[in-house]
Amino acid sequence: MENNNYQQLTRTFQRLSRFSHLSSIASWDMFTMMPPGGSAARGEALAELSVLQHQILTDKKVGEWLDAAQSENLNDVEQANLREMQRHYQQASLLPEALVEAKSLAGSKCEHAWRTQRPANDWQGFSANLKEVVKLSREEARLRAEAKGCTPYDALLDIFEPDMTSARLDVLFADLKSWLPQLLAQVVEKQAQQSFVPPQGPFPIATQRELGLETMTMLGFDFNGGRLDVSAHPFCGGVPEDVRITTRYDEEDLLSALFGVVHETGHARYEQNLPRTWQGQPVALARSTAIHESQSLFFEMQLGRSNAFLKKLLPAVHQRFGSQAAFSEENFIAWNQRVKPGYIRVDADEVSYPAHVVLRYEIERTLINGDIEVDDIPALWDEKMQAWLGLSTKDNYRNGCMQDIHWTDGGFGYFPSYTLGAMYAAQLFHAARNALPGLDSAIAEGDFSALFDWLRQNIWQHGSRFSTSQLIQQATGEDLNSAYFRQHLTSRYL
């Protein structure tokens, strides 16, 4: 039979994809619906599933098929799929089964405890669990680094952002540091002259949910293949055929949940539009975490906080929450574009947001490379927050180093993708605007069809067929160029 080895591989990866489907829905349930008493059993079940997937993927037959398939007659999509299969296989075969299981269990335990430890500001309790997660993550990083011939941190970064290195990140982030603090100071000073009227709550949660659902519909979310729920930390999960997004509500704050929904809808539209013809194969997966993040930030920041979109959104806000001074057009736009350095990354405006990311990147890189220990995190966090944003987090662990979920399950190497995503989003929006004359007036009329078609053509439909830099070059005519991000922030805020 022709291409027999490749066919064996596609069947194996189809099987893995189905287990991954089960794992992601069980994880979604753990974050949203599961009663607290189910935590230990669910953690064990998910660990069992991750071991099973690891066994299937690292079977020596898979390695043999991969070698043999290299000489089979494959078209370019199949070759791209084979390249991705090889990457998944190499990533997995470096890790012993016992480490995979231990990591999964430690991650579930740390994340579950974090839910109560964070509100209690219990750094001592949290750090005990985090130390175990870090120990296992370092072990994973060491094994990957030895095989790749790179630093431990770069080996983890490569999982989320193939081909990205900390050397390249250091250049990008050094550039940011050279202009962002000054731009932030200028914007804060400029906005100090403006008067903002804050929205007056309470805003009932049920009505906030209705507004979120209406906004998702406006943004083209397919409810036949997805839903909106509540979790402690907003996320997008599930699978392309059944995308689960979450937000968190606050009766006094209308816009945090709403823009959380807009952000997650960007992730969801990407997932819902991944190539179905290659479904179940690695080539049909999203390209990388930074490209994924570029889609959510394209929706939330480039589109969502633009004047044109905010004007379009305002009637729906009036309809549900009446008219108040805060909901005049001018104030509504100004309020949604205000820049106010704060403690919480997920609530940060787009000008101060990169500070939160660079801070985490610098800490996690030194942590994984073994230059600092878990006990050093709070003081470093405080020092970097003061340097970037003039805020102290001393003894305020809840709003400092305990605020995120990523480190609880060993997601080291993930944070840079947020700022890389912001850079990609600015570059993509710039390219879309060049390709689509009249885009701003179409957005103001609530017609996003041309914009979403452009994203579908240039990003969504390709899955993992191309490398990140090929994908961006094809879409925008050049590789990642952070100048567009600077240009975007300057033109919107100054």
User: Which residues are annotated as catalytic?
Assistant: 264
Specify whether the CB–CB gap between 167 and 348 falls below 8 A: no
Q: Which residues contact 171 (CB under 8 A, 6 or more apart)?
A: none
Specify whether the CB–CB gap between 247 and 260 falls below 8 A: yes
Q: Which runs of E-coded beta strand occur in 21-156?
A: none
Q: Which residues contact 367 (CB under 8 A, 6 or more apart)?
A: 134, 373, 374, 377, 412
Task: Please report, for residues 243, 319, 321, the alpha-carbon distance to residue 246 in angstroms, rounded to integers and kept in the order given.
Answer: 10, 24, 22
Strand partners, 250: 253
Q: What are phi and psi of 201, to 5 degrees?
A: -80, -165
Write out the two tokens for 185: 């100071």
**Rg, C-alpha atoms of the chain:** 22
At residue 247's C-alpha, the angle toward residues 213 and 228, to 5°, is 40
Q: Which residues contact 271 (CB under 8 A, 6 or more apart)?
A: 236, 238, 239, 240, 243, 286
